[in-house]
A and B are shown apart, each in its own frame.
Chain A
Amino acid sequence: MIHLYGVVDELERLPTVAGVDAGRLELRRIEGLELIVSRTVEGRDVTQEAVLYHAHVVEELLARSGAVLPARFGTAFSDEQELADAVRATAPALARGLNLVRGCFEFGLRVLGGDGAAESMSGGLSGRDYMRTRLAEDKTRRRLAEELHEPLARLSRASTRFGGASSDLLQSAYLVPRQDVAAFGEHVRRLEAAHPDLTIVCTGPWPPYTFAANGEGGNA
Chain B
Amino acid sequence: MSMNEQQTLKQQVTLIELVDRVLNKGVVVSGDITLSVANVDLVYVGLRVLLSSVATLEEPRERISATGAAP
Contact = CB atoms under 8 A, between A and B. Distances in A.
Number of chain B interface residues as a range: 35 or more
Given A51-B19, A72-B33, A74-B35, A210 B25 contact: yes
Contacts of A54: 22
B30 A86 contact: yes
A7 B27 contact: yes
Pairs A-B, 10 closest by C-beta atoms? A72-B26, A209-B21, A209-B25, A46-B39, A74-B35, A86-B30, A212-B27, A120-B66, A70-B26, A220-B28
A153 interface: no
Nearest to A204: B17
A82 B34 contact: no
Task: Tell me which of A7, A70, A94, A197 has the highest count of chain B C-beta atoms within 10 A of its own C-beta.
Answer: A70
Given A108-B17, A201-B13, A46 B26 contact: no
Contacts of B33: 72, 74-75
Contact of B26 (A48, A73, A76, A203): A73
Given A46-B42, A48-B43, A90-B29, A73 B23 contact: yes
A209 B26 contact: yes
A87 B36 CA distance: 23
Contact of A72 (B23, B42, B66): B23
Interface string B29-63: 11111111001101100100000000000100110
B25 A219 contact: yes
A97 to B, nearest CB: 6
A119 interface: yes
B1 A71 contact: no
Number of chain A interface residues as a range: 35 or more
Contacts of B62: 113, 115
B25 A48 contact: no
Contacts of A210: 21, 25
Contacts of A108: 17, 21
Contacts of A45: 39, 42
Given A45-B39, A76-B34, A203-B14, A71 B27 contact: yes
A4 interface: yes
